[in-house]
Amino acid sequence: MRICRDAGMRLVGPNCLGIVNTAASLNASFLPGTPSAGRLGLMSQSGAVAAAVIDRAEGVGLGISSFASVGNKADVSGNDMLEFWEDDPATEVIALYLESFGNPRRFGRIARRVSGKKPVLVVKSGRGGAGDRAVRSHTAAAATPDAAVDALLRASGVIREDSVRDLLDTARLLVHQPLPKGGRVAIVGNSGGPQAMTADACEQRGLSVPELSPATRDALSAGLRAAAAVGNPVDVTADGEAAELAHAIRTVLADPDVDAVLVVYTPPFGSGPVATKEAIDAASRGSGKTVLACVLGDDGLIGSRVPSYAFPEQAVHALGRAVEYAAWRSRPADVVVEVPPVHALAAREIVESELRDHTQGGWLDYPAAARLLGAYGIRVAEAVPVGGREAACAAAARLGPPVALKATGPDLVHKSDVGGVRVNLDGVEEVGRAYQEMADRLGTAMTGALVQRMAADGVEMIVGGVAHETFGPLVMAGMGGVTAELLADRAFRVPPISDADAGRMLGELRCEPLLRGYRGRPVVNTEELRAQIAGVGRLMDDIPEVAELDLNPVIVTPAGAVAVDVRVRLAPAGPRPSPFLRRLR
């Protein structure tokens, strides 16, 4: 590396297979042969996986523009390759096999930019690994390394695949066909069973197989035999000739309510595979729409541009990914609301003052946490900190019952698990008794308590943030309550988070119907909830010293969203530069 740097050279590897650039007729690799020229840029951290992928790609007519086996990435990394392919006219689709991220935040920024121009597919091995068990907030515990990778890739528009088989299936659709404008699929074929399988797979994948219009059905019937089915799927029957299949393909492609056509051909019926493939190839030209085929048992390429898959689920998987990516590409640019500098400065002062007193950081007390969150527009329920039974009673009398009483103490984190929370206390004496009972039971762990007016009933959510050592800040939104926690109903994002991002996070939750008036419940104020999620994103992005943060629960009612318990832990900021400070300077 030193020699290369001094000489102004780049170094690939070590521990790699080398590089290939088919446009430059360069093969500086240990591969057994030279891959065919094509439009896929391929990078792999594992030489062995790369060799297998190239071998498979060759078999299905998928050529390579350039290939780099980067091995241990002493110099050239995935980020470098992305930047190279970004402007490489020979490369239309990018595929990465990753075992690790060197600089995930930089990867995220570059991948987001590149994904806006060309599809980026990633297989990241090593999905396992638990969250950090030493942390004590729900958010930090839930943010496993894989959740962080997923959030990073999702925010960047990257197409994440679980296996290289899936990656190849998706890549060859994206290389050969235009992006679909939507998810409305017409299925055309010669055999009912496999076409029904395909329709089922579409439904499961969230693609629609809509009824065709009367005009399209009439046009289909005009060119097909009487036994043909002209609904969707369109079945030309096993006797249907290649010309009939071509007529059906052209007709559904002309329907403005069809975004993509999936041809399911069962050989050797009709005119046989050779003539049928020629007909599929010819009929699919010039429409500008996405056409792909399942020729049962036959993974390959029809003509020079229609990918064929051996089994329906492969074709449907690839089409589903293409539809999702196209939707991501066509989204309007998100506007992330900025926090007024005066508020951000106030927040910074709170953090710096705390870290002056506690140089190693630690958990903020409730009032400090509430002030910090308030600077970012996050509403936190009023709470009166009290140091003893008398003060608790006085606070309850002032707030008016019913109230909640929550034990506080530097080591009391999961306080509800140890009986440190009492709710719905209806009178002042009840508060006094509850305080005494808690103090007797928790002993010196309890140094005081908070008295809060009971929140109105609503949907319990959790919103949180965690500063991941390598991935940077992550924001979580999830359903609250112990059941939802066990069921891990939560969504992660990398900030910045726009209002639309926050809405999409909520949309990913299986419990989301609860917010929309499920079974007679009221529709609640998701606008304020989205603002809280976006606010946490802004805060996590601005203040790297916030190590973990839970708003748990956030009670969402028709009137608004308010956090009734909060936990914020500060830690001295590491080397990660604060975007907030960058903005101020």
Residues that bind its own copies (CB under 8 A): 32, 45-49, 51-53, 55-56, 99, 125-128, 162-165, 191, 193-194, 196-197, 200, 203-204, 266-268, 296-298, 310-311, 313, 414, 417-419, 479, 481-484, 486-489, 510-511, 513-514, 518-520
Of 134 and 482, nearer to its own copies (C-beta) is: 482
d(CA 218, CA 337): 52
Contact present, 261 and 318 (Cβ < 8 Å): no
Residue 381 belongs to what H/E stretch? none
In the structure encoding, which two tokens stand for residue 194, read together? Answer: 């496999």
Q: How far is the CB of 208 from its own copies (least distance, A)?
A: 12
Local structure of residue 520 (DSSP, 8 states): G
SS3 425: strand
Cβ proximity to its own copies, 44 vs 251, nearer residue: 44
Q: What is the 3-state secondary structure (H, E, C) of 258-296?
A: CCEEEEEECCCCCCHHHHHHHHHHHHCCCCCCEEEEEEC
411's CB contacts (< 8 A; 6+ apart) are 445
Residue 523, beta-bridge partner list: 516
The strand pair at 37-44 and 64-69 is best described as: parallel
Nearer residue to its own copies within complex by CB, 266 or 498: 266
- Considering the complex, state which of residue 163 and residue 213 has its C-beta at the smaller distance from its own copies: 163
Q: How far is the CB of 28 from its own copies (least distance, A)?
A: 18
Q: Is 314 helix (H, G, I), strand (E, B) or coil?
A: helix
365-403: burial string, b at 16+ Cβ within 10 Å, e else: ebebbbebbbbbbbbbbebbbbeebebbbbbbeebeeeb
Residue (130 or 333) nearer to its own copies, CB: 130
Closest distance to its own copies from the beta carbon of 480 (Å): 9
What is the residue whose two structure tokens read 């990257």? 158
Q: Nearest approach, Cβ of 489 to its own copies (angstroms)?
A: 6
Of the pair 202, 323, the CB lying nearest its own copies is at 202
Q: Kindly tell me which of 337 and 421 has the beta carbon lying closer to its own copies.
A: 421
Spell 225-246 as b/e; 16+ CB within 10 A means b.
eeebbbebbbbbbeebbbbbbb
* Closer Cβ to its own copies, 192 or 579, answer by number: 192
Q: How far is the CB of 206 from its own copies (least distance, A)?
A: 11
Q: Which is nearer to its own copies, 117 or 414 (CB)?
A: 414
Residue 460: helix, strand or coil by DSSP? strand
- Least distance (Å) between residue 177 CB and its own copies: 23
Minimum distance, C-beta of residue 419 to its own copies, in the bound complex (Å): 8
- Of residues 14, 151, 153, 47, the one with CA closest to residue 94: 153
Q: Min. distance of Cβ 197 from its own copies in angstroms?
A: 4
Shortest Cβ 32–its own copies spacing (Å): 7
Distance set, CA 28 to CA 35, 44, 50, 481 (Å): 12, 15, 14, 57
